[in-house]
Amino acid sequence: MGGVSTRLAGNLALAAGGLAVALLLGEAGVRVFARTGPALLVADPVVGKRFRPGYSARTFVPECACEVDLRFDREGLRGPDRPTAKPPGMRRLALLGDSMIASVATREELTLAHRLEGLLREDGSRWEVLNGGVSSSSTGTELVLYREVLSHYGPDVVVLAFYGGNDLADNSAELTWAARLYFELDATGRLRALPYRRPGAALGAWLDRHSRLYVWQKAAVSRLLAVGRAARADVDPGDLAFARPEPPGVARAWALTAALVRALRDETGARGARLGVVAIPPAVAVYDDLWSDLAGRGRAAGLQLQRDAPGQRLEAICRDLAVPFLSLGADFGAAATHRDSRRPDERLFIEGRYHWNDRGNAVAAEAVFRFLRASGLAAAEAGGSAGG
Provide the CA 283 distance to its chain's centre, in angstroms: 15
For position 17, what pLDDT does the model report?
Answer: 56
Question: Measured between alpha carbons, how far is 380 from 123 in angstroms, rounded to an integer?
Answer: 7
| Rounded Cα distance, 346 and 361, in Å | 14
Hey, is 177 helix, strand or coil?
Answer: coil
pLDDT of residue 7: 67
pLDDT in tens, the chain (388 residues): 566 566 665 656 665 555 555 545 544 554 544 556 788 999 998 999 999 999 999 999 999 999 999 999 999 999 999 999 999 999 999 999 999 999 999 999 999 999 999 999 999 999 999 999 999 999 999 999 999 999 999 999 999 999 999 999 999 999 998 888 999 999 999 999 999 877 654 445 454 454 555 544 544 444 444 444 444 457 899 999 999 999 999 999 999 999 999 999 999 999 999 999 999 999 999 999 999 999 999 999 999 999 999 999 999 999 999 999 999 999 999 999 999 999 999 999 999 999 999 999 999 999 999 999 999 999 887 554 433 3
* Residue-range domains of the chain with CATH: 26-379 (3.40.50.1110)
Cα 136 from Cα 167, distance rounded (Å): 9
**CB burial of residue 33 (10 Å; 0-12, 13-18, 19+):** exposed
CB within 8 A of 67, min separation 6: which ones?
58, 59, 60, 61
Distance (Å, whole) CA 192 – CA 64: 38
